[in-house]
Amino acid sequence: MIDILTIKDVKLKIGEWCKQKRREYELTQEELARDLDMSRITIQQLESGKNVTLDTLLKVANHFNSLPVIYKLFEDGSDIPDSLY
């Protein structure tokens, strides 16, 4: 059986990652939101896989020192297909 990766799957995985990092740093959603000048609802939605914007993801990644990892994914470009469709 072929597993089909969906956008929803990726959003949920991003949310899990955010929650894991927040807990590693022993932060509440409120504290992370305050640190990033966001609302707690934005953090809650991100962790639930809802309303994941690129800006929100990058701000969270930067806060947890993970921005270089994301950048590295796209730096080379050799593994990125010419089209997503």
pLDDT per residue as tens digits for the range 35-78:
999 999 999 999 999 978 999 999 999 999 999 999 998 887 65
**Rounded to whole angstroms, what are the CA distances from 29 to 32, 58, 80?**
5, 17, 33
In the chain, what are the domain boundaries?
7-75
pTM of the model: 0.80
* Mean pLDDT value of segment 19-40: 98
Distance separating alpha carbons of residues 23 and 73, to the nearest angstrom: 24
Find the length of the chain.
Answer: 85
Fold annotation for 7-75: 434 Repressor (Amino-terminal Domain) (1.10.260)
